[in-house]
Every structure is written in structure tokens, then in C-alpha cells.
Structure 1
Amino acid sequence: MKPDANPLALTLALEPAYEDYAAVFDEEVLAAARIHYDGFWAKPSWIVSPAPGQTEFRIEMATSEQLAAGTGAAPQFPGGYRAIAPHLKPGLTIYEIVFVAPGQTSGVILDGLVHVNGKWRIFPAPWRVLTVDEPGHRH
């Protein structure tokens, strides 16, 4: 990121529009996705930003089909993707960016980036939509 970047503005620019949810989630979890992310975007709990010293990054990408089957780069994604993958629309490519310090392999993960309806949107930790009605659900 550039030194003069505004991480909050970058984050808010990735907020999905109403129609983007239907382009990403199937009918079974669509309402839960909107409930979850309405709460999330009301007060985002993170912003697009590496931690201090994380000057490098890598990008992983997997299709919704690969995430469901555990193939391709799917093993590099958080484990929750395996649970939500059957509810993702076919043909999507999901991206994650991992910000790392030089020489490190783990770091800050920015997951759930999707290019839909002509724009980049983010659905972080999408498996959480599966727990919308459970006690302790968080955004």
C-alpha cells in the first residue's frame, strides 16, 4: 500500500451492493448473508491494511468449485471456506491477499475478494453467514 493510502476508504469501496449478494450466494443462505454483512458493514471490524513490517504480499485464488472440492489453492484458504463453498455460486473466483513480513509465510489475511457485476467486492469470512441464527454470532 502506498504511504498516503486511506485504508478505511479502500475498505469501504469494497462494500457489496445489494445485487452483489445474489451474484455470490445461493438462495439457501442469501438472506443470512445480507443479515450478517449488514451488521458487519454497519461497523467494520477490520480495514484493508497490512500490519507494521508487512511489506510483501501473495495472492491466492480458487474457484467456488475448487473450494468445494478442496483442490487447487483451496487448502491455502481458511478452513471455513469448505463449509460455505456449496452455497457459493458456480464459476466464481475468490481471492485472498496475505500480507507478510519479508521472509515470513504467514501474516494478515484479506479474504473473500470477488469480482462481480463489474466491480471488486469483499465478503470476508463468508462462512459466518452459516451461523447467523446461532447464539454468539458475530459480524
Structure 2
Amino acid sequence: MKRLALPMALLVLALTACDPAADTPAPAASITAKAAAFPKGETGAKALMEALRAADGAETVKTLQPKAADYAAVFTDELASKAESFYKTKLWNGEKVELAGSASQTDLKLYQATTDDIRKWTPAVERDFPGGYKKLGTHLRPGLTVYRWKYTEPGEDTGRAYEGLVYVNDHWIWVPKAWEILEQ
């Protein structure tokens, strides 16, 4: 029986080493799977916003970290690399990021605007988005939709507010308070 134990152990080790799933760390695989769970558009945005306030919301936030190509898809050439540097320092610096309201803030209010409407600074955009977007508009690529949301108590208009959710390159990214890039 001892003669069989060593060859079996080597076989198991060899099979594990050849398993493609063993080459992918579990956290990266779970982040990718989470990101794929939220399709483009309002329905996907709402589902994502609900997931952000769930118990594992901090893990969901990690799926929103943009890559260089994502910054280039959202911002004009002169701002894309500056945005990447800004967010790597201010937001995606390894600290835990959570997006949630209090337990009593059970309602979700969703606002959206195209980057074309932000550039025009339409009355709806002025009403629903922070004023910083007015100066940011010319630095945004056309044809995108930016989402803003609030977690509020039922019947209330104020609550915990967030903005800067954008769907690019087949996934959601988060670029909040992007007008602050212009102030750097």
C-alpha cells in the first residue's frame, strides 16, 4: 500500500498543476464573475447599486476599478492619464471602499444623464447632478451615460448620494467627483 501512496500523491499534484482554474486566483475570478452579473443600462445599474449596499458590497466595489482603457473611454485624451493617476492615488489605493447608506435608507433613487446632455448642461442635468459636472462636461467622451444614485429613507429626498457610475468596455466602472481632476 505504501508503494501506491507516493505515485498517487504525485498524480494528484500533477493534475492540480494542469488545472487551468488553479492558475487563476479565486478573488480575481470572483471579481470578474461579479462584474459580469450587471448588464448595461438602467436595470444593470439598479442591480449593481443594490449589490453595493449588500453585506459583500466592498467586494463589489472592487469590480468598479477602471483600467487605463476605461479612463480613455470616458475622458478625452488630455484628461484620461491624469484621471488614472488621480484615482489610483485618491480612491483605488488599496484602502477598503464601501458604498452604502444606513440600515434605515432602504429606498434607492437613480438619476442618469448622457455625456452629451452633461456637455449641454440641460435643466435635467443641472437638477440631478452636482455642479462640478458642468465644468467636466467638455472632458467627457460623447455617447456615454453617467449614473448618480442615493440611498434614502422611505419618503425622503436626501440621503447618502453617489455619482460617476459608467458602463464602458463591457463592464461598469466608478469615477466619482471627476471634476476634482481638473482642480489638480
- The TM-score bracket by the shorter chain reads 0.7 to 0.9
| Percentage of identical aligned residues | 33
Aligned residues: 132
Write the deviation string for residues 42-64 of structure 1: whole angstroms up to 9, x where unpaired.
04574221223100011100011
Partner of 1:85: 137
Bigger Cα displacement from structure 2, 72-81 vs 17-26: 72-81
Q: TM-score, normalised by structure 2?
A: 0.66
Partner of 1:10: 60
Q: TM-score, normalised by structure 1?
A: 0.86
Partner of 1:25: 75
Partner of 2:152: 100
Q: Higher strand share goes to which structure?
A: 1
Runs of at least 4 residues off by over 3 Å = 1-4, 43-46
Residues of 1 paired with 2:131 and 2:95: CA distance?
22
Partner of 1:112: 164
Superposition RMSD on alpha carbons, in Å? 1.8
Larger radius of gyration: 2
1:58 counterpart SS class: strand
Q: How far did 1:102 drift?
A: 0.8
Residues of 2 paired with 1:109 and 1:43: CA distance?
22
Structure 1 stretches lacking a partner, 5+ long: 133-139
Structure 2 stretches lacking a partner, 5+ long: 1-49
Q: Higher helix share goes to which structure?
A: 2
Residues of 2 paired with 1:120 and 1:131: CA distance?
25
Partner of 2:183: 131
